[in-house]
Amino acid sequence: MAQPHQSSARSMFGSLALIAVVIGCGAAAFAYTAGWFSPQRLTPDKMVDALKPPTGEPLGHRRNHAKGICFTGVFEANGAGTALSHAQVFTRGQYPVVGRFNLGTADPNAPDATVRVRGMGLRISTPDGQEWRSAMIDPPIFPVSTPQAFYELLLASASKDPNAMKTFAAARPEFAAFGAWATSGPWTGSYAEERYNGLNSFVFTDSSGAERTVRWSLLPAAQPMSVSPDDLAKRGPDFLEQEITERLRGGPLRWTMVVTVANPGDPTADPSKAWPEDRRTVEVGTLTVEQIEPERNGPCRDINFDPTVLPSGMRTSDDPFPAARSSVYAKSYDLRTAEAKDYPRTAKDAKP
Ligand code: HEM
């Protein structure tokens, strides 16, 4: 039998060993999360680094879709969405919205006519305290199938090797469809004339517990008018922000929210693949944009339009993008909110 002092020494040694194991495991988990064990592993840091534009880190700004303007408005649900999801946002009624029109560039000073992709960030809040956040873009498909391929696209487009994009496109054949849209799809002269597509798929659960995989889009009430990029370039570097501010003086702007339901076998995990045209669609309500505010002091500035912030009745699917986006958006958000001195607010009463 062990003497009392021996047993207390042994138990102290045991406790220290246990602490060392706990710390060791914590450090290993940290190193794993940071990607130290697998240099090939894609991390938010690597993605943010790859997004850096030639003009330099956009301090104080979003690391992608860095140029934008805030809006507020309302989402009016018509009740039809309750057939797909029990989220309160689909119960007939009006729910407040904060959003952001933006350009798909990491350069906050890019001239509007030089940026091919336009986007919208949207946050709809409901009385049950839940939120539906979404960030959508105007192309009908995403350029690539996986987050890893998106990282490779960023590297190729920043590469000094003149063949980098050709090599990339050969390795990622799905890129061809986006390339065709980017080169021959129409341009418009207004954020109000764009269709904004969620592209990623999510799972909706209705009140009986039935699940359906869906994507969603916002269809503009305004008629899209095609304008050539050359003509757009003559309108000035910030024509989109000026145009939408001016247009809103004539009255609120509207979009219809349409949810598309996948059939079994549709490519739910790949936003570079459109679903067939004949899929079931449900018009669930109308987004009305009522007021525009500059981003600097505006209500969208400090929102992270993280696509995984979803109300009960919606969840992520087998699509790998939303989780990857969530981790990169969080990194971008942490950086930009810590750099507020590089993008100071100007209004005295501006909120943090
Ligand atoms: C792995 C792929 C992607 C990466 C790494 C990425 C990266 C980013 C980053 C860093 C931001 C800034 C976030 C912030 O600071 O708040 C952002 C914003 C945005 N992204 Fe993505 N993104 C990806 C995929 C997508 C997809 C698939 C879509 C559309 C379907 C999209 C649409 C947008 C939009 C509209 C914004 C602006 C939202 C706002 O106004 O704050 N992104 N993205």
Q: How far is CA 54 from CA 105, 135, 153, in A?
A: 11, 24, 15
Q: How far apart are CA 123 and CA 131, in angstroms?
A: 7
pLDDT the model gives residue 61 = 98
Q: How far apart are CA 306 and CA 134, in angstroms?
A: 7
Ligand 1 centroid distance, CA of 169 (Å): 22
Q: Is the CB of 313 under 6 A from ligand 1?
A: no
- Residues 6 or more apart whose CB falls under 8 angstroms from that of 106 comprise 51, 52, 53, 58, 63, 64, 66
pLDDT per position as a tens digit, 28-42: 665 555 555 577 899
**Strand-pair category, 93-103 with 281-294:** unpaired
Ligand 1 centroid distance, CA of 64 (Å): 6
From 5, 61, 65, 86, the catalytic residue: 65
Ligand 1 centroid distance, CA of 135 (Å): 7
pLDDT per position as a tens digit, 51-60: 999 999 999 9
Interval 296-303 mean pLDDT: 98
**Is 65 one of the annotated active-site residues of the chain?**
yes
Instruction: Quote the pTM value.
Output: 0.91
Q: How far apart are CA 104 and CA 227, in angstroms?
A: 19
- From 57, 98, 151, 328, mutation site for ligand 1 pocket: most ligand atoms within 8 A of C-beta: 328
Ligand 1 centroid distance, CA of 116 (Å): 15
Contact 87, 75 (CB under 8 A): no
Residues 318-352 as b/e (b if ≥16 CB within 10 A, e otherwise) read ebbbbebbbbbbebbbebbeeeeeebeeeeeeeee
pLDDT per position as a tens digit, 135-186: 999 999 999 999 999 999 999 999 999 999 999 999 999 999 999 999 999 9
Q: Which atom of ligand 1 is nearest to the CA of 147?
A: 1
Q: Is the CB of 215 under 6 A from ligand 1?
A: no
Contact 86, 79 (CB under 8 A): no
